[in-house]
């Protein structure tokens, strides 16, 4: 499935190097790495330095909007249907304690204080 998704985006990269880096970047993000900086993602991909990952984010020429559109179409083709529903909600949850896993401080609309923000995606059961 991952190869299929990455294949959909291949044409959005003008050169093979950023195309390869994008695949390695996504693979790293989906991995069990505890910390996912460019350094860790590069090491996971077998690189000695994070240059390829950083170049992908800051200098490589690729169309992020087109990649988003391609992903949306892939999801619609694979999971879409007459009765299909997909809901995505970026919700601010009040932070409790000092060790909230997988969250970063952000100001929520509900209260004007730092709280982790999570994106929730769900689909109805069939």
Same domain, 69 and 97: no
Q: Nearest-5° angle of CA 45, CA 48, CA 54?
A: 70
Per mean pLDDT, which of 19-23, 75-79, 83-87, 116-120 is the most reliable? 19-23
Q: How many domains does the chain have?
A: 2
Same domain, 61 and 104: no
Query: Which residues form the domain of 6?
Result: 2-79
Same domain, 71 and 96: no
Q: Which of 22-26, 35-39, 80-84, 98-102 has the lowest mean pLDDT?
A: 98-102
Same domain, 118 and 59: no
Same domain, 107 and 51: no
Same domain, 40 and 64: yes
Residue 50 has pLDDT above 90, yes or no: yes
Angle between helices 51-58 and 16-29 (to 10 degrees): 100
Question: Residue 35: CA atoms inside 13 Å, Cβ hemisphere, count?
Answer: 5
Same domain, 59 and 118: no
For residue 75, what pLDDT is reported?
84
Whether this model's pTM surpasses 0.85: no
pLDDT tens digits, one per residue of 56-70: 988 998 888 998 899
């Amino acid at each position: 499935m991952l190869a299929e998704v990455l294949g959909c985006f291949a044409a959005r990269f003008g050169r093979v190097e950023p195309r390869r880096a994008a695949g390695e970047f996504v693979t790293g993000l989906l991995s069990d790495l505890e910390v996912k900086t460019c350094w860790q993602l590069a090491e996971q991909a077998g690189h000695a330095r994070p240059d390829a990952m950083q170049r992908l984010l800051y200098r490589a020429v690729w169309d992020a909007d087109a990649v988003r559109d391609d992903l949306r179409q892939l999801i619609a083709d694979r999971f879409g249907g007459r009765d299909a529903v997909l809901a995505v909600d970026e919700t601010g949850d009040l932070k409790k304690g000092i060790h909230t896993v997988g969250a970063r401080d952000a100001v929520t609309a509900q209260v004007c204080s730092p709280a982790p923000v999570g994106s929730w995606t769900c689909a109805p059961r069939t």
